[in-house]
Structure formats: C-alpha cells, structure tokens
C-alpha cells in the first residue's frame, strides 16, 4: 500500500464518522482487501462481465443525494449514475488527481470489492472497498477523499449495495 493512501485514509474516516480510525479497524479492512485480491483475475469490468453481471447507466438520485453506483446482487446488475461519474471526473480534476485511471475504473474497482466481499461488516466495508480500489489501481491517493468533495450543490456519496 502506498504511503499517501495510508496517510490520507484517517482524514476520510474522521470526516465520515467523526471518530479516529483504529489500527485494528485498518488491519481488519486490509484482511478483507486481501480476500478480494485473491479473487481478482482480470480488470474490474471484465470481472463483472465474466460473472454474468450487466454494467448499466442509470440515474440513482435518492432524496437529493446522488449515489455513484448500486450493486444489485440478485439481478446481477451494476448500475452507474452517469451524472455522478461526470462529477467524479470534475472532482479528480479539481483536486489535480490523475484522470487515469478513469472515473469509471474507480467506480468499478470499488464495487468489485463489494461483489467479492458482500459479508464484510458494514463499519469496515467502505474503508476496505476504498483500500481495495487504491491497491488494485495502484493509486497515489485514497479514493474515499473524493466522497468528501461537493460538486456544485450535491454531495457525491459512496455506492450502496443491494
């Protein structure tokens, strides 16, 4: 795991929960990341397709909050909000983060963790999904930071698993 990712993660966790992340929480998340990595054989989009999932675009606004994506395990669909993907591009650009990998690759990688580890405890799942995404895509930043950026008037939120 790259140093920048580990250094940026506590700020995200505190902003999200109002608490400091503990070493045991990070260790638990990293264990889940390793479980997911062992199942990864190909790029995220191909993993979804190879497992019979459709990757579709659909608006996912819920009461003024827009989700980036929604993983539907029963119907084998990954729904990506197109406006949220565009917002993610703007957030990356505004923060001077690299635009490669693409916003779609970030979303797919994050959701791939949830596909591989649906039993990951709720309090650990988002932390682990962001760490998995950073590891899989070899990012120099913690991708959860992008959840904290407000594009325009709507706060881009993390994905939801159904």
- Number of domain units in the chain: 1
pLDDT value, residue 148: 82
Q: Provide the residue range defining the domain that includes 131.
A: 3-161
Backbone phi, psi, residue 22, to 5°: -95, 160
- Rounded to an integer, what distance in angstroms lies between the CA atom of residue 42 and that of residue 116? 13
> 141 with 5: CB under 8 angstroms?
yes
Tens of pLDDT, residues 110-158 = 999 999 999 999 889 999 999 999 999 999 999 999 988 765 433 334 3
Tens of pLDDT, residues 48-85 = 999 999 999 999 977 766 689 999 999 999 999 999 99
- Token pair 């983060």 in the structure block, residue: 97
Going edge to edge, which strands form the sheet with 69-72? 54-57, 77-80, 69-72, 160-161
More confident residue, 147 or 162: 147
The partner residues of 56 in beta bridges, in order of sequence, read 79
């Amino acid at each position: 795991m790259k140093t920048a990712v580990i250094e940026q993660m506590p700020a995200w966790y505190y902003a999200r929960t109002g608490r400091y992340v503990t070493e045991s929480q990070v260790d638990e998340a990293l264990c889940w990341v390793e479980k997911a990595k062992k199942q990864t054989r190909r790029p995220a989009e191909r993993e979804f397709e190879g497992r019979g999932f459709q990757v579709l675009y659909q608006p996912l606004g819920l009461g003024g909050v827009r989700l980036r994506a929604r993983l539907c395990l029963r119907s084998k669909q990954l729904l990506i909000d197109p406006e949220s993907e565009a917002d993610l591009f703007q957030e990356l650009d505004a923060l001077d983060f690299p635009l490669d990998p693409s916003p779609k690759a970030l979303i797919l990688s994050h959701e791939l963790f949830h596909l591989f580890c649906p039993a990951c405890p709720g309090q650990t799942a988002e932390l682990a999904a962001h760490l998995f995404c950073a590891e899989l895509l070899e990012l120099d930043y913690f991708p959860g930071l992008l959840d904290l950026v407000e594009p325009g008037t709507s706060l881009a939120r993390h994905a939801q698993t159904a």
